[in-house]
Every structure is written in structure tokens, then in C-alpha cells.
Amino acid sequence: MNAFRILKLTMSVFAAVTAASVTNPAHAQATVPLVAFYSPSAGDFFTTSEPAWTCRLQGCSGEFGDYQLYGMQGHVFNPDLPQPAGTLPLWHWFSEAREDNLLTTHPGWNPADGLTRESGEAYQFVRLAGYVKPVGSTGLPLTNFWKLEDRDNAALTTARFITRYGDRVPHRVPPGYGESVVEGVLPLPSSSQLEDCHRAEPPIGGDGASWLAPANTITPWAALNSFLDGDVIRITGPIGKYKFNAEGHEVSVRGLRDLATGGAFPAPGIQKYALLARVTKGRVFVRGQGWYEANQWFRALGESGNEPGGCILYDAQGSGPGKLELGFNDGYILDNSGGAMIRIHQWW
């Protein structure tokens, strides 16, 4: 491992250890994290850019009740800085009667027209959460989902319904929630490594040659240069097939056109039998797919032909480096044989 990589590893570990006690410098950043939490007792999703909450990504402590970290949703333009041109304010409202946190860009909720609203129950204005780009922009759509049973709004970029063959298949949509409205679009993460990957600049590291990811087990990537916070990787592989049952039936390593549904598959909403990847610590942003927390599977390769997977940005702040693992979107892998020949390219 070269000296730069050793230094980067040391800094990553130091950041993970000290993050809880370091003052959050969000006021100096052009964008700040938007993070979702969930309270089982209140049946409430709380998506916020408030530093006292988003610091939980780095392991800070505080009084959070039973609100559990649900996941990184992306970034909003900093509410403490002037509004960027062409953006929309994202307002945070709360209903005590419903125990419902609401994020909205709808002009009817502009707090300049009053700090309370009636929408079935009374809502009180809390704060400006930030600014987002308008619908139709490049980035991550922030969608408000609604659960009638709990009378709850959930503002998420990580959930969506995918239409395939006339059916709407949920992908990471919380149970009981239906799609309501897209409030705006969050900008893509700012990363020079991510841009290098997207522009197909020559990688700095990664695999020296292709290798087999077996179809009958979960395989960790033996990274030659380690896999650290801020690194970007891309998984590539040729057209190929493997056997997905004891009868020897073959399927593409990119899976079927049908999307997996229900709990029988590791990754509902992703092509059945497709090659998957996940990290064991932290989270990743996958271009074209969004944010995934540790142990959440995402599609590793493109959907057809020999398309590579999306560029993958690794965020290991607060957790320290973990591993990248490969598997397949198959509910029973022990009768599989063969696998996917892949090669992973790396930028840091």
C-alpha cells in the first residue's frame, strides 16, 4: 500500500473516532446531508438536515427518543447560505396531533404566509431545511410518500415505484406507504473521483485482472489497494451466464427483465438473479440508483449487454472502512453454479 493510501486510512479511522466530539462545520458547506429517521412508536418518518441529527451518520450521541437511523437521502443546498438561483425552498412542518414531520416545497406552505396550517390537523412551521432543484432537474428526486393508517408523510429519495410490464413494483418503499408527490430534486454528491469515473478517466487502482464471483456464495472483494472513505469504484463484466438451479437452467449475470418482488429475493425491485453488491459498513452512493446503507444490496452491473455498473462512491465516515461483497438476487443460492467474471476499477 502506498504512503498516500496509508495516510488516507489513518485519517478515515481518526475521523470515525473523533466525529462525535467535533463541531459540525455545516455552516461553511454549500450542501448539507439530508437524513431520514423513523420512530416505530410514533409511526413517523423524520427527514432532516438539522446537524444535531445528521451527525448520527458520524456516530454522535444525543436525545433522539426511539427515532432510528433510516438512511442517507442525499444533500440539500445549505439553508444558512443565500438561496442558489433556480432552486426551491424546502420547508419543515410538524403536526403534534399526528406526530407527523412534513417536508414540502409547495407554495401553499410558505411560512411567510403564516407559521401554522390546517391540513386535517394543525401543523406548525419548524425550520427551513434547505433548498432543492426543481422537478425535472438532474439529481435525486425527493418524493413524499403517504401512509393513511398512520397519517404520516415520508420524504425519501431512496424509495420508488418502478413500472415494468404494466405493473408498479416497489423498490425500498416502506410497507403501507404510497407515492404522493415529488417535492424537488437533490443534487448529486460532489466528488472529483465520482466525476472521473463517470467520464471514464483511467482508474488509479483496482483489480489487475478479471476474476470469478461465484453464484453460490457471498464473496468479499479482495481489494489490492484497500477500500476507503471517498473512494469510487465501478464493477465491469462481459456478457455471461450462470446456472441458477440444480436442473442447470442458465440465466444472464445481469438477471432477467422481470423485477424481484416480495421477501423471497434479497433485493426486491431489482432484476431477478442479477449480480448484486453491498458494503458491510457505512453507505454508498450508486450513480443511477441512489444511496444504500450498509448491508443493502444494489445492482452491480448494467441491465443489458456488457454494460458496466454505475459509479459507486463509498462513504465510511463514522464507521471506518468495511468490505464490498458480491452476491446474486436469488432467494436460494446453494444450488447455483458458475458465476460472473468481473473486474473492479478504482479511483481515489
Strands 298-299 and 275-279: antiparallel
Q: pLDDT at position 7, please?
A: 32
| Backbone φ, ψ for residue 341 (5° rounding) | -80, 120
pLDDT band for 225, please (50, 70, 90 cuts). Answer: confident
pTM attached to this predicted model? 0.90
Give CA–CA dist 51/26, Å, rounded.
7
What DSSP assignment string belongs to 129-157?
EEEEBPTTSSSEEEEEEEETTTTEEEEES
The yes-or-no verdict on residue 254 having pLDDT over 90 is yes
CA 19 to chain centre: 21
Give CA–CA dist 227/230, Å, rounded.
9
> Mean per-residue pLDDT for 285-293?
98
Q: pLDDT at position 28, please?
A: 58
Report the CATH architecture of 192-347. Sandwich (2.60)
Give CA–CA dist 323/278, Å, rounded.
8
Torsion of CA 267, 268, 271, 275, to 10 degrees: 0
Contacts of 94 (CB under 8 A, 6+ apart): 100, 101, 102, 123, 124, 126
Q: pLDDT at position 171, please?
A: 93
Burial of 40-77, coded b for 16+ CB within 10 Å and e otherwise, reads eebbbbbbbbbbebbbbbbebeeeeeebeebbbbbbbb
CA 83 to chain centre: 25
Asked whether 31 and 187 are in contact (CB, 8 A), the reply is: yes
User: If you compute the radius of gyration of the chain from its CA atoms, what whole number of angstroms results?
Assistant: 21
Asked whether 347 and 193 are in contact (CB, 8 A), the reply is: yes
Strands 298-299 and 160-164: unpaired
One-letter amino acid at 202 equals P
Q: Which three cell numbers stand for residue 101?
A: 414531520
Task: Look at residue 278 and give its three-state secondary structure.
Answer: strand
The yes-or-no verdict on residue 267 having pLDDT over 80 is yes
The yes-or-no verdict on residue 59 having pLDDT over 60 is yes
Per cent of the chain over pLDDT 90 is 87
Domains in the chain: boundaries:
30-186, 192-347
pLDDT band for 168, please (50, 70, 90 cuts). Answer: confident
Give the number of C-alpha atoms closer than 13 A to the C-alpha of residue 208, restricted to the C-beta side: 3
